[in-house]
Amino acid sequence: MTTNTSVGKSVSRVDGRLKVTGQATYAAEHDVPGVVYGVIVGSTISKGTITAIDTAKASRVPGVIKVLTHLNTAKLPYPEHHTVCDPPGERLHVMADATVKFFGEPVALVVASSQEAAEHAVSLVKVTYATLPAITDIDDPKASSMVSPWYADYERGDPDTALRGAHITLDRTYRIAREHHNPMELASVIARWDGGKLTLWDKTQWVQGSAEFVAFCFGIDPADVRVISPFVGGAFGSGSRAWPHEVLAAQAARELGRPVKVVLTRKQMYTSIGCRPASSQHIVLGSTTDGVITALIHEARTETSQYEQHSDAIPELPRMLYAIPNMRSQYRLVELDTNTPTWMRGPGEAPSAFALECAVDELAHELKIDPVELRIRNEPATDPFQQTPFSVRRLTDCYRVGAEKFGWSRRSATPGSRKEGNLLVGMGMAAAGYYSYRVPADASARINADGTAVVASATSDIGPGTYTSMTQLSADALGLPMNRVTFQLGDSLLPMSPVEAGSKTMASVGSAVQLTCNMLRDSFVRMASVDPGSPLYGARPDQVSVDNGRLHWTDKPQRGETYQQILARHGRQNLEVHNGYVPGEEVQKYSTWAYGAVFAEVSVDVDLGLVRIRRIFGAYEAGKIVSPKMAHSQAIGGMVGGIGMSLLESTAIDHRDGRIPGASLADYLVPVNADVPELDAVLLNAPDGKADPIGVKGLGEVVIVGVPAAIANAVFNATGKRQLELPITLDKLL
């Protein structure tokens, strides 16, 4: 037993000082002696064949060491093997032959002794292509599509009959543009070979996943690849798998016998890593006049590449959010001549909540029922898809608390009725949900002779504050103050950890950390309890408390000794244990989701069509909250992402050749301070005892999920204009 001094307390980031003083080292900043610089030449067609590459001029640029192309670089083996989290399909064999599968595909890598020389030489590489017609538009009727390999068609009840019998039906199609993650830190890697062993200093959300992937490409043992990534400057899903530039850097390093650094340009961030796929969702709703939803059809399409089949989680939320007895759900992937999309914050749930929650809002309006009330009338008693009880589902509490704190009762149900000069003001809301994942993870924990602790697992910290929250958990489990605990992550040599994505780090790695620290603490108790020289002689772990590094009888606090004293008496430098977490079978018997209710107020300029967010409030139920300050930061960060998704973000594609003309932070709009008003959130601290040892459900994604729909519904309330497409640009309101 230990005293709770850290978990649940609003502490600041343990790595905050390192970050704000520039001492945190990001991938491209690692000082690797002898490093040379690789810059990618991307294809300027979306489909076809390279007929010639003229590298003569580029090679003559002073400082250029080599220009690698498919003509002069080794073919990597890519043996038959796929990592679990990668999509089905064939990996891109980067620069293996003359074919081009997407715009921006690497066709050459210029390596030089300076970044400047490499960049200049890139401009002198001349590539000639035989171009084939490419399809890059998800709505192109010539595009082929397939059933998502991860989501089979699903039906319950008889939706067609139910729709014919419904008092009111609604039939809408919602579209969301392709989006790119645009983190501050560019995707970067430094690769170095030492004999047959490879080290990558990489920007990644999953050091062990990158190690496994790159090992697979080279046909070597993953144990021979070490990936180091102590800090990540934002990722939002873009680093959840390894990308071709990581393979290219390793390939160039091997061929040149020197470490090679590759940093994508901002422009290449739109073609050389994934994106949130463009989507189109057809929704049909049927309801009784008193607001019982009787039928739902959800037909979703998202884009994927010609070589891999990426599925978002787009079918999941509509299948379970409401107690709808009759439902059909279908998901198709549209195969385009583009690079493979990937996860982007709230992947699937954020897009599907936009469609579903806008449709439910429209239904509420037609039925003249308050949108919150309509949702409560359709709350399910058990998960209608999984057909199991919920572990904890406090969505109605989220509605109640959110509506109260936001001041929802002040909303006028009549669109366009609130005017302030030439501004129309409106309020909207939406529900949010995100499936709560938990997977196996390992950790190590050690207490040193000086009474400090080192706890480790190979996870990442892409921004949620994993260094800090894991330090909090460890400190409490070990009975130490946080300043005596160091948490290590971001190195593939550390104990096994899943990708930091899918909001599962706290449930998975956190559980492993807690179990491991508990084991270490109990090991000390056992060491002392069998030692006649210890004041704890004869004690069982459940009779001992630990406070501030001192173990003592719970009922006789004066009798005890410190970790240091125990180690010293045994002549040991430290004591270390390894342990792991495997999700219990118990959790499978329940539907575990994190939930939220999002409320937004917007103004719309009637002359300019300009939407400004006035405020957003979210109430979230995500299990136990380990780190309230960082959870709040996550929540408002999710809202900022949701503002981008709803009003600004859109990757324009020129479908004549598949190029992305606005591939820059000047043309691809993301929210800046002026776009972000007062944001606030409350986290219901609701430990889920069935979920995992800590009782957490994950927070990183649920906080973006309801935001776009709440904003779109507020725009309708302000103007009377329904928004079926994201982003909601000015032209849609004029």
Residues of this chain that interact with ligand MOS (CB under 6 A) are 205, 236-237, 240, 343-345, 347, 501-502, 701
For residue 499, the minimal CB distance to ligand MOS (Å) is 8
Q: Which long-range contacts (CB under 8 A, 24 or more apart) does 583-589 make?
A: 583/438, 583/439, 583/440, 583/508, 583/692, 586/690, 587/391, 587/438, 587/690, 587/691, 587/692, 589/388, 589/389, 589/690
**117, 360, 597 from 372: Cα distances, Å:** 60, 10, 9
Tokens of 297: 């059809």
For residue 205, the minimal CB distance to ligand MOS (Å) is 6
Toward ligand MOS, which CB reaches closer, 183 or 402? Answer: 183
- Three-state DSSP class for 197? strand
Alpha-helix residue ranges (DSSP H) falling in 537-596: 563-569
Toward ligand MOS, which CB reaches closer, 505 or 627? Answer: 505
For residue 202, the minimal CB distance to ligand MOS (Å) is 15
For residue 641, the minimal CB distance to ligand MOS (Å) is 10
* CB burial of residue 436 (10 Å; 0-12, 13-18, 19+): buried
With left for phi above 0 and alpha for psi between -120 and 50, is residue 157 left, alpha or beta?
left
For residue 235, the minimal CB distance to ligand MOS (Å) is 6
Question: What is the number of residues in the chain?
Answer: 734
- Distance, in Å, from the CA atom of 118 to the CA atom of 137, rounded to the nearest integer, reads 33
Tokens of 472: 């909090």
- Distance, in Å, from the CA atom of 106 to the CA atom of 191, rounded to the nearest integer, reads 17
Toward ligand MOS, which CB reaches closer, 231 or 406? Answer: 231
Q: Are 255 and 290 a contacting pair, CB within 8 Å?
A: no
- Distance, in Å, from the CA atom of 249 to the CA atom of 228, rounded to the nearest integer, reads 15
Residue nearest to ligand MOS (CB): 237
119 is catalytic: no
Toward ligand MOS, which CB reaches closer, 222 or 464? Answer: 464
Nearest Cα residue to 65 out of 114, 118, 111, 34: 111
Residue type, 606: V
For residue 238, the minimal CB distance to ligand MOS (Å) is 8
- Distance, in Å, from the CA atom of 49 to the CA atom of 71, rounded to the nearest integer, reads 13
For residue 706, the minimal CB distance to ligand MOS (Å) is 16
For residue 30, the minimal CB distance to ligand MOS (Å) is 23
- Distance, in Å, from the CA atom of 724 to the CA atom of 719, rounded to the nearest integer, reads 14
Alpha-helix residue ranges (DSSP H) falling in 450-574: 466-478, 505, 511-529, 563-569
Residue type, 452: T
Nearest Cα residue to 323 out of 283, 342, 295: 295
With left for phi above 0 and alpha for psi between -120 and 50, is residue 495 left, alpha or beta?
beta
Toward ligand MOS, which CB reaches closer, 151 or 343? Answer: 343
**Per the residue annotation, which of 179, 299, 701, 725 is the catalytic one?**
701
Describe the crossing of helices 511-529 and 466-478 by its angle, rounded to 10 degrees: 30
DSSP state of 510: I
For residue 304, the minimal CB distance to ligand MOS (Å) is 16
Toward ligand MOS, which CB reaches closer, 87 or 502? Answer: 502
- Distance, in Å, from the CA atom of 412 to the CA atom of 132, rounded to the nearest integer, reads 55
Active site members: 701
